[in-house]
């Protein structure tokens, strides 16, 4: 294999790092480091210089087959299979210790390979990796089974119990923005539960993961428990996702590739977990501190060169302070020190590759062509030393006067690029408690589980209706009915409107509201044939009526106001249903116990709307300003 010319490394490169880079970097399969079956290699490039950094094996389908076979063999190897939970935890603890011992070395490798500042790699990548392995070291002994009482025929006495077992072989495919820490996110829980892993690092940034695999061997993990196959995602990643010997695939990367992996995984119905891209916004209210917003927005988008899935790449600013915020943002962006990651003064390094630089630059050009204004950056920053002339540097970039129809606002860019839009009247950053401003009504994830979690987060503020307390976005969905016993009277006397969403989500949301003392209203928004809502209302009314709780159903598909009769006739005609049919099919089944006034609707604290709700808003209900306290789903 071709190796790196160590004379091309920065003078500050630790000897251990130089020695590691000078080695031949093969594939780890079954406890042995070996060349790719094809003998081909990939060149890892230093993004600060554009020159070769190291050479790694270019794996292929045959190598994936060998790695999966080794992982399956390790599942039944007594050296791994028979370890008790405490022993698995001790191995993870030992690996965490080794990561901490070699943190400086790992951080420098990450910086050279990815481009990020060494300080960031030390705190985030190496630091997170050690913490994750240490955290999951405690989990093997915490997963417990259950005994299940049965009532079989004939009076038999049967012991029925469940135990947690490993899924099997886990295929882990990680991205290039946080190579080592993303690998540990997948490795730590998989190994803690006794699985074996075939790991594919990103082809651009394989080096820190290869060094981590060496440390795993040193920690004492048996051969075949961890296998590493480097190579192109289109070859190695695709082979892992489709392989019949892989029981689960865990992927972090783009949404487009995530779809491909999901499709490939259907061959043997393997489990899939995906962490995909995003387009996160900052939303700024008129009472916010422009300087504080600018500092936070800069950190949100320019951290890690903007190469994060949660980068705050959109900035929606209220018209009253738009100019102040954008001016402060441009000032902050202009003071960020851009340079090679190994320079202690560097705050933002180069992008990971020439391809990524070209992608981000093309978005800047697209934004300008569509009418945006370049307020800062957009090109290579001045002052970069000649030895880094081939590096993939881009100055922190800010576009203003952007609109939602522009690509820079709608698509994930994954680079140091912020798009600012003015005139927003929406909730967000504020000097006051941000929970008062109910961002829920802007969020439309179309996920019932998330709706329930948002409901759990509703809190009443003094004289200001509900407010949200803390973040409720998590990977797992809610299962069953949310437990809200500690807040049973929190919403007493308040009106909550639950609309659409179908039987399951409607019941969960309604029960949760009822437990908190709300006067719940159920409105069928998806048309007068919404029998699910009608049935749900009847069931809940029957269950809760004896407790003095009133459940209302409002028809003909919108919350009732003074112009209800006009809307009633209009919707009925659109559905092809006569008034008599509506009377017979709906009102007779679930009588309207009372009609809300416009003031009651305006003061309602929750408003869940299904995607097919037809755009029902406060304006269509004759309420000035709309349902400002809504939670839209």
Q: Of 249-263, 277-291, 507-521, which one has max mean pLDDT? A: 249-263
Section 528-555 average pLDDT: 46
Distant-in-sequence contacts of 95-100, Cβ < 8 A, 24+ apart? 95/133, 95/215, 95/216, 95/219, 95/221, 96/130, 96/131, 96/133, 96/134, 96/137, 98/215, 98/218, 98/219, 99/126, 99/129, 99/130, 99/133, 99/212, 99/215, 100/126, 100/130
Superfamily for the 281-422 domain: Aldehyde Dehydrogenase; Chain A, domain 2 (3.40.309.10)
- The count of other CB atoms within 10 Å of the CB of residue 274 is 18
Does residue 534 surpass a pLDDT of 90?
Answer: no
pLDDT tens-place string over residues 184-225: 999 999 999 999 999 999 999 999 999 999 999 999 999 999
Please give the torsion angle defined by the CA atoms of residues 349, 353, 355 and 361, in that order, rounded to the nearest 10 degrees. Answer: 10
Pairing of strands 495-499, 519-523: parallel
6-275 fold: Aldehyde Dehydrogenase; Chain A, domain 1 (3.40.605)
Average pLDDT along the chain: 76
Helix (H) or strand (E) holding 332: helix 322-334
Percent of the chain scoring above 70 in pLDDT: 66
Chain position carrying tokens 């790992």: 106
Nearest to 427 by CA among 317, 280, 283, 324: 283
Using H for helix, E for strand and C for coil, what is the string for 155-182? HCCCCCEECCCCCCEEEEECCCCCHHHH
Task: Count helices and strands (H / E) in the chain.
Answer: 21, 22
Does residue 169 surpass a pLDDT of 60?
Answer: yes
Does residue 477 surpass a pLDDT of 70?
Answer: no
Pairing of strands 552-554, 519-523: parallel
Does residue 561 surpass a pLDDT of 80?
Answer: no
The domain segmentation of the chain, as residue ranges, is: 6-275, 281-422, 435-608
Does residue 358 surpass a pLDDT of 70?
Answer: yes
Q: Do 312 and 301 meet the contact criterion of CB atoms below 8 Å apart?
A: yes
Helix (H) or strand (E) holding 422: strand 417-422
pLDDT tens-place string over residues 113-139: 999 999 999 999 999 999 999 999 999
Q: Is 256 helix (H, G, I), strand (E, B) or coil?
A: helix
Confidence at 553, pLDDT banded by 50, 70, 90: very low
Question: How many residues in the chain?
Answer: 633
**pTM, entire model:** 0.71
Does residue 46 surpass a pLDDT of 70?
Answer: yes
Does residue 150 surpass a pLDDT of 60?
Answer: yes
Separation CA 121–CA 127 (nearest Å) = 8
The residues carrying an active-site annotation are: 275, 309
Q: What is the pLDDT of residue 380?
A: 96
Nearest to 175 by CA among 308, 333, 321: 308
Does residue 528 surpass a pLDDT of 50?
Answer: no
Q: Do 129 and 115 meet the contact criterion of CB atoms below 8 Å apart?
A: no
Q: What is the pLDDT of residue 613?
A: 37
Section 373-384 average pLDDT: 94
Does residue 401 surpass a pLDDT of 80?
Answer: yes
Instruction: Catalogue the E-assigned strands of 336-400.
Output: 373-376, 397-400
Does residue 336 surpass a pLDDT of 90?
Answer: yes
Separation CA 459–CA 470 (nearest Å) = 10
Q: What is the CA radius of gyration of the chain?
A: 29
Q: What is the pLDDT of residue 573?
A: 57
Nearest to 567 by CA among 499, 630, 622: 622
Does residue 555 surpass a pLDDT of 60?
Answer: no
Q: How far apart are the first and last CA of the chain?
A: 55
Paired strand residues for 166: none
- The count of other CB atoms within 10 Å of the CB of residue 286 is 14
pLDDT tens-place string over residues 231-251: 999 999 999 999 999 999 999
Section 567-588 average pLDDT: 49
């Amino acid at each position: 294999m071709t190796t790196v010319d160590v004379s091309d490394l920065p003078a500050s490169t630790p000897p251990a790092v130089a020695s590691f880079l000078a080695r031949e970097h093969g594939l780890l399969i079954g406890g042995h480091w070996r060349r790719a079956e094809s003998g081909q290699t990939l060149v890892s490039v230093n993004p600060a210089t554009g020159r070769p950094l190291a050479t790694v094996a270019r794996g292929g389908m045959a190598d994936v087959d060998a790695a999966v076979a080794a992982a399956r063999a390790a599942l039944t190897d007594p050296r791994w299979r028979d370890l008790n939970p405490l022993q698995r935890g001790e191995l993870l603890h030992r690996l965490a210790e080794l990561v901490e011992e070699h943190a400086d070395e790992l951080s420098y490798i990450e910086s050279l390979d990815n481009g990020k500042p060494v300080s960031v790699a030390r705190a985030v990548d190496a630091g997170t990796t050690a913490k994750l392995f240490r955290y999951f070291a405690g989990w093997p002994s915490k997963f417990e089974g259950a005994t299940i009482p049965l009532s079989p025929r004939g009076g038999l006495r049967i012991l029925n119990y469940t135990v947690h077992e490993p899924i099997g072989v886990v295929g882990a495919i990680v991205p290039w923005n946080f190579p080592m820490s993303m690998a540990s996110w997948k490795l730590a829980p998989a190994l803690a539960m006794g699985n074996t892993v075939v790991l594919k690092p990103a082809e651009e940034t394989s080096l820190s993961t290869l060094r981590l695999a060496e440390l795993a061997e040193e920690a004492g993990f048996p051969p075949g428990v961890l296998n590493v196959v480097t190579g192109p995602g289109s070859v190695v990643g695709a082979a892992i996702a489709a392989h019949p010997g892989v029981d689960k695939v865990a992927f972090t990367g783009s949404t487009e590739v995530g779809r491909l992996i999901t499709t490939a995984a259907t061959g043997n119905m393997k489990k899939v977990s995906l962490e995909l891209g995003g387009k996160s916004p900052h939303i700024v209210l008129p009472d916010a501190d422009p300087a504080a917003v600018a500092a936070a927005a800069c950190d949100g988008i320019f951290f890690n060169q903007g190469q994060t899935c949660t980068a705050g790449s959109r900035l929606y600013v209220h018209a009253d302070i738009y100019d102040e915020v954008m001016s402060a943002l441009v000032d902050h962006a202009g003071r960020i020190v851009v340079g090679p990651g190994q320079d202690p003064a560097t705050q933002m390094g180069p992008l990971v590759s020439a391809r990524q630089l070209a992608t981000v630059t093309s978005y800047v050009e697209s934004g300008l062509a569509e009418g945006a204004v370049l307020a800062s950056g957009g090109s290579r920053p001045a002052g970069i030393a000649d030895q880094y002339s081939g590096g993939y540097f881009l100055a922190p970039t800010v576009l203003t006067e952007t609109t939602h129809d522009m690509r820079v606002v709608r698509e994930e860019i994954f680079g140091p690029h912020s798009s600012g839009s003015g005139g927003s009247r929406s909730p967000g950053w504020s000097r006051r408690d941000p929970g008062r401003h109910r961002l829920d009504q802007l969020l439309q994830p179309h996920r019932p589980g998330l709706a329930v979690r948002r409901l759990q987060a509703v809190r009443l503020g003094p004289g200001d209706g509900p407010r949200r307390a803390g973040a409720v976005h998590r990977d797992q969905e809610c299962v069953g009915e949310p437990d809200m016993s500690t807040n049973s009277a929190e919403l007493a006397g308040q009106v909550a409107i639950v609309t659409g969403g179908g039987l399951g989500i409607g019941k969960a949301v309604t029960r949760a509201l009822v437990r908190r003392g709300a006067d719940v209203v159920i409105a069928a928004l998806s048309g007068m044939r919404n029998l699910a809502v009608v049935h749900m209302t009847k069931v809940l009314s029957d269950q809760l009526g004896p407790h003095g709780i009133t459940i209302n159903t409002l028809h003909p598909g919108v919350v009732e106001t003074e112009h209800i009769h006009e809307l009633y006739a209009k919707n009925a005609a659109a559905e092809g249903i006569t008034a008599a049919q509506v009377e017979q099919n709906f009102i007779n089944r679930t009588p309207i116990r009372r009609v809300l006034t416009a003031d009651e609707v305006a003061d309602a604290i929750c408003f869940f709307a299904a995607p097919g709700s037809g755009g029902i808003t406060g304006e269509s209900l004759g309420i000035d300003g709309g349902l400002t306290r809504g939670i839209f789903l």
